[in-house]
Amino acid sequence: MNTQRRWMLYGAYGYTGKLVIDEALQRGHRPVLAGRDARQLQSLAEPLGLEWRAVGLDDAAALERALHDIDLVYHVAGPFTQTARPMREACLRTATHYVDVTGESPVTQETFAQDARARQAGVLLLPSSGVNTVPTDAVAAFVHAQLPDADWLEIAIDTVHQRSSGSLTSMLEVSTLSGQVRRDGRIVDEPIGKRLRQVRFPDGRKHCIGLPFADLYTAHVTTGIPDITTYVAQDFLATRFMKYSAPLMRKVFANERLRRRLQDEIRKRVAGPDAATRHRDRTYTWALARNRRGEVREAWLETLEGYTFTAAVAPRIVEAVLASELTGATTVAAAFGPDFVLQLPRTWRYTTLRS
């Protein structure tokens, strides 16, 4: 790592931030730790001998000052519906590369809409660069490369069975979204649970439900395929519960006061997965591309547990961005290729499955 290049980890003392710090240190990085709470930053950074900067996202001038000597911001403070825009704007104003780990698809869409501004500023914007959506996007890019005239893409993921409070509160922020798919290049609303199917994964066949993921945006940017459907694996009862309770849940969560109270309870009570779970669990993804002649290409990626993946990929993305001359709002697979993820430990891609 070129020690002249400096990067900032914003949201450093959150659950994901701390995992990213461990990985970054192991790869010889010395990130500047940042967030809005000076006390937490100081107690985290000083024992590690890392520089820290306390700055809120609501103070645009202070944020610009904090970025004056920073080449890249790795943003892991969510919910990104509240945090992405001020940081992304500060990055565009200060010509600083921006990477985030949002799974909230409206935020991903908003970041891609800044492509022209990013090119003009000479920076890369890489939204959704955690377990949502780097592994799925990599396997989508791979099947598209095998079948370049594909016009149909299905993607499924089985990951993160235990979530951090930050992930749950962020999910609630987009809980009023309907089911969505991409058709003829456009996002189309449909009822959640309209699409139920089984998918073969490397560890067996699983029930999946169609849910709108950031992949509806990232896979479209990466492959240009106009028809995209995204699925998540759940057990049979969970898929049926989601299908039948979704209309009621959407109404309940549309009540902002109730949503905020629930988020407060989650922050008090929920811890993320422990180290043993993060080491043991795995992430499985699948993508299928089809063209008008009915030709099909399928592939699977098996990789690290979701938070372990998000942390492990972070310093590698930093290295790739800082070594590249690319600009614009894009995806990790579009920028660095479908094989980029294969450098992660315990990560394999399959084009056939044995059983």
Ligand X SMILES: NC(=O)c1ccc[n+]([C@@H]2O[C@H](COP(=O)([O-])OP(=O)(O)OC[C@H]3O[C@@H](n4cnc5c(N)ncnc54)[C@H](OP(=O)(O)O)[C@@H]3O)[C@@H](O)[C@H]2O)c1
Task: List residues bridging with 183 in a β-sheet.
Answer: 186
Which lies closer to ligand X via its Cβ, residue 15 or residue 201? 15
Q: What is the dihedral of CA 260, 265, 268, 269, to 10 degrees?
A: -140
Q: Half-sphere exposure (CA, 13 Å, Cβ side) for 13?
A: 18
Smallest separation (angstroms) from ligand X to the CB of 90: 12
DSSP assignment letter at 128: S
Contact between 130 and ligand X per CB under 6 A: yes
Query: What b-and-e string marks burial along 205-242, b requiring 16 or more CB atoms within 10 Å of the CB?
Result: ebbbbbbbbbbbbbbbbbbebebbbbbbbbeeeebeeb
Which lies closer to ligand X via its Cβ, residue 46 or residue 58? 58
Q: How far apart are the first and last CA of the chain?
A: 42
CA-to-CA dists, residue 2 to 71, 126, 136, 196, angstroms: 12, 21, 30, 48
Smallest separation (angstroms) from ligand X to the CB of 63: 10
Residue with tokens 């798919």: 181
Contact between 101 and ligand X per CB under 6 A: yes
116 with 225: CB under 8 angstroms? Answer: no
State the number of binding residues for ligand X (CB under 6 A).
30
User: Tokens at residue 211, please?
Assistant: 């849910």
Which lies closer to ligand X via its Cβ, residue 13 or residue 300? 13
Of 6, 8, 31, 79, the one binding ligand X (CB under 6 A) is 79
Smallest separation (angstroms) from ligand X to the CB of 57: 4
Contact between 167 and ligand X per CB under 6 A: yes
Which lies closer to ligand X via its Cβ, residue 80 or residue 300? 80
The DSSP element (H or E) to which 41 belongs, if any, is helix 38-45
Contact between 83 and ligand X per CB under 6 A: yes
Q: Which stretch binds ligand X (CB under 6 A): 33-41, 221-229, 244-252, 297-305?
A: 33-41
For residue 301, give the 3-state DSSP assignment: strand
Of 6, 7, 8, 13, the one binding ligand X (CB under 6 A) is 13
Contact between 14 and ligand X per CB under 6 A: yes
Q: Which residues contact 14 (CB under 8 A, 6 or more apart)?
A: 35, 76, 77, 164, 166
- Size of the chain in residues: 355
Contact between 114 and ligand X per CB under 6 A: no
Of 96, 165, 222, 347, the one binding ligand X (CB under 6 A) is 165
Smallest separation (angstroms) from ligand X to the CB of 352: 28
Smallest separation (angstroms) from ligand X to the CB of 210: 18
Contact between 31 and ligand X per CB under 6 A: no
Contact between 77 and ligand X per CB under 6 A: yes
Smallest separation (angstroms) from ligand X to the CB of 249: 18
User: Distance between CA 141 and CA 144 in Å, rounded?
Assistant: 5
Q: Which stretch binds ligand X (CB under 6 A): 30-38, 117-125, 223-231, 246-254?
A: 30-38
Summarize as ranges the residues that interact with ligand X (CB under 6 A). Answer: 11, 13-17, 35-37, 57, 76-80, 82-83, 101, 103, 130-132, 164-167, 170, 272, 307, 310
